[in-house]
Amino acid sequence: MARRGPRGGGAAKRDRILRAAIRIFSQKGYFNSKISEIARLAGVADGTIYLYFKNKDDLLISLFEEKMGEVVNDVRARVADGGDALARLEIFIRNHMDLLVKEAGLIEVIQVELRQSNKFMKEYVPVKFLEYLDIISGILEDGKREGVFRPDLNVTLSRRAIFGALDEISLAYVLSRKRKYDPAEAAAEIFRIFAAGLKGSVPSEGGR
């Protein structure tokens, strides 16, 4: 957990540090980034960083948790106004892909740099990420109750498949220098693929 900052402008200063960290991590990579560079961009002394975060790992994890929390709150609000389960799934998918453009630096940090942190991958429980997956589960469960999706739908596997597709396409987008596809078009195609499977009948074993 991040340390509490001193009184007087603490929240604003902490937010500046997080925003600076996003820029530095996305530009230079996590391992090549220095606390001093983040402090300089945030307009604070190097030591000030340690009033809010234990170390660079703590800063990276805090960045993910807090920004992911903002994403979760935003998509929850959007999905809540979405209509039936199929419409809400489309909103979720479109919102996820829109982040590639709206939060380019943050997404690059999450997709590339975060995965290189041994502490994050081995020790940290990604609470907000699990909440993000739970939004997909909720949509799928609602779809089964509404009769929009197949009654035999495996929600656990389906939510992983949906997120896996979004994650893979997002990573390909971040790593591609030429940006070979449009996120909005990709979202539409991903939705069409899953909508057909979630609504369709299951073929018999050994069937074609």
Q: What is the pLDDT of residue 199?
A: 86
Report the pLDDT averaged over residues 84-90.
95
The CATH H-level superfamily of 57-199 is: Tetracycline Repressor, domain 2 (1.10.357.10)
Q: What span, in angstroms and rounded, lies between the C-alpha atoms of 91 and 39?
A: 37
Comparing 16 with 113, the larger pLDDT belongs to 16
Q: Give the residue from 37, 32, 31, 61 showing the smallest Cα distance to 49.
A: 37
**Helix, strand, coil % in the chain, rounded to nearest 5:** 75, 0, 25
Q: What is the pLDDT of residue 183?
A: 92
Please check whether the two domains, 1-54 and 57-199, share a CATH topology.
no
Angle between helices 10-28 and 35-42 (to 10 degrees): 130
Q: What three-state secondary structure class fits 148?
A: coil
Report the pLDDT averaged over residues 25-30.
90
> Is residue 132 a contact partner of residue 71, using CB atoms and an 8 Å limit?
yes
CATH number of 1-54: 1.10.10.60
Given the structure tokens 């960045």, which residue do they identify?
A: 63
Please give the single-letter amino acid code of residue 159.
R
Phi, psi of 53 (to 5 degrees): -140, 140
Does the pTM exceed 0.75?
Answer: yes
- Over the Cα atoms of the chain, what is R_g? 20
Q: How many helices (H) and strands (E) does the chain have?
A: 10, 0
Q: Is the pLDDT of residue 14 over 60?
A: yes
Domain range annotation of the chain: 1-54, 57-199
